[in-house]
Amino acid sequence: MAAKGQPFIWAALRAFMCVCDGLEHKTALRLGSTVGRMFNFFSFSRAARASSRCSRMLGVSDRAARGIIKKAYSHFGMALVEFVRLPKTYPRIDEIVTVTGEEHIWKALELGRGAIMLSGHIGCWEYAASLLAKHGVPMNAIGAEQRDERITQAIADLRSRGGVKPVGKGIDLRAAIECLRKNEALAVLLDQDAKDGGMLSPFLGHLASTPIGPIRLARKFGTPILPAHIFREDDGFHMRFEIDPPLQGPGGRPFGEDMQHAVDSCNDKISGWIREKPEQWLWMYPRWESTLNDR
């Protein structure tokens, strides 16, 4: 049942999806950018918190941080458009996304123990999973449960129509295990506050509670974890998707045997991507809420 107050959000989302669906792709992207900038303007308190977070974590001036956040709102407005239009763009996604390192995931799957794609809320992560699905990789993605069940289902439907199989709601352990046992790939976004259930590890140089479930799964099943990120190019339309070789444990030990090293390695990867393209990361999310009272 939809939560109180969600019908308006659902109606607005449906209307936005219908409008975007009827536009030419680049026109729809310009609309998304405009909508994102409007949210930056009207959501003043949230944008201000995001700017303060950005300034603190990156060590940049308040003015520079405000510029990054303004671009981030524009980027995620475009990313929303890209996601809702995914069923239309999926057949020609190779015209939009250029991938390097794809051989790493195929080599990982040859081991027969599945593959975990490590990424974060940066760039256009939905297109990364869909591109691999288009190339024949059996892709699964763990989705977060939304307040309104209809929105949760809409996200799952869009992913399915983009070639990606939705995996449960939240961290569905049974479904994740089944993916790996079937030798499929599982996309995981690790830049989330795990609160009491995580491990403390530096994220952009500041301790953050980090999920450890995917790393435990990898250790238990001998599943490779491959860092992967996708950035929007400067033209605003094309994307660059890079897949790295599997992460390794210290001294040749299996990755995840030293849990602290494994979590630190994952956070180092994501932090590096954020420093490279800070305007494409989700600064609006309180990543350090449980460690630095970041709200």
> pLDDT tens for residues 9-54?
888 889 999 999 899 999 999 999 999 999 999 999 999 999 999 9
pLDDT of residue 169: 54
Cβ atoms within 10 Å of 49's Cβ, excluding its own? 17
pLDDT of residue 151: 86
91 within some domain: yes
> Pairing mode, if any, of strands 206-210 and 199-203?
antiparallel
210 within some domain: yes
Residue 171 or residue 292, greater confidence: 292
pLDDT of residue 170: 52
1 within some domain: no
Asked whether residue 3 carries a pLDDT value surpassing 50, the answer given is no
* C-beta separation of 97 from 239 below 8 A: yes
> pLDDT tens for residues 136-183?
999 998 877 777 788 888 899 999 999 999 886 555 678 889 999 999
Asked whether residue 295 carries a pLDDT value surpassing 60, the answer given is yes
128 within some domain: yes
255 within some domain: yes
> pLDDT tens for residues 215-264?
999 999 999 999 999 999 999 999 999 999 999 999 989 999 999 999 99
Q: Which of 76, 77, 70 is nearest to 50 (CA)?
A: 70
Q: pLDDT category, 7, cuts 50, 70, 90?
A: confident
Q: Number of folded domains in the chain?
A: 1
Q: Who contacts 193 (Cβ-Cβ below 8 Å, separation ≥6)?
A: 208, 209, 286, 287, 288, 289, 290
Asked whether residue 2 carries a pLDDT value surpassing 80, the answer given is no
Report how far apart, in Å, the C-alpha atoms of 295 and of each of 250, 287, 290 are: 35, 9, 9
Asked whether residue 5 carries a pLDDT value surpassing 50, the answer given is no
The average pLDDT across 102-124 equals 97
pLDDT of residue 1: 41
Nearest-angstrom CA–CA distance, 86 and 160: 10
Asked whether residue 4 carries a pLDDT value surpassing 60, the answer given is no
What burial class does residue 242 get, using C-beta atoms within 10 Å of its C-beta: 0-12 exposed, 13-18 middle, 19+ buried?
A: middle
Q: Specify the DSSP element, H or E, that contains 115.
A: strand 115-119
- Determine what percent of the chain is predicted with pLDDT higher than 90: 83
* C-beta separation of 270 from 190 below 8 A: yes
What is the overall mean pLDDT for the chain?
Answer: 93
19 within some domain: yes
pLDDT of residue 252: 86
222 within some domain: yes
* C-beta separation of 212 from 263 below 8 A: yes
Angle at alpha carbon of residue 164, lines to 180 and 127, rounded to 5°: 115
Q: In which domain, by residue range, is 178 found? A: 6-292
18 within some domain: yes
